Structure 1
Amino acid sequence: MKYCGIDLHSNNSVVSVIDDADRVLAERRLPNDLTNILVFLSPWRDELSGVVVESTFYGRPGIMHGLAVTLRCDA
């Protein structure tokens, strides 16, 4: 199983993918753009068991809502 963690900032996010042994498989700082995040996650999409978002910034909730909807609806 694979897991994704996203640290959401005002204009970018750090997106990490780890496995069930807590090994970091990939990590990248990306602009807060749903398309960029989905492209980055695409190699692991079928294996992702969950996505967790950490944020103290509330200015761009639509990006993460779009990610959740896209990952659930397109599966």
Structure 2
Amino acid sequence: MKLSANAPCPCHSGEKYKRCCFPYHKGMLPSDALKLMRSRYCAYALDLPHYIIATTHRANIDYTEETAAWKE
């Protein structure tokens, strides 16, 4: 899904995407757990599997090294 930078962020923060989750999707680290989880939800809504993979801890039961299969 393509989203305008000025559209409301899919994480429901009330902020525009460009000022909310977009910086995290481009590489900035979230400063707390709430921002991390909002940005992961937003990545799911926008079909950004690379971000979800990058922010999943290796100890998580759902983690796998097979990223190609995971993206599916």
TM-score (ref. length: structure 2): 0.28
More strand per residue = 1
When Rg is computed on C-alpha atoms for both structures, the one with the higher figure is 2
More helix per residue = 2
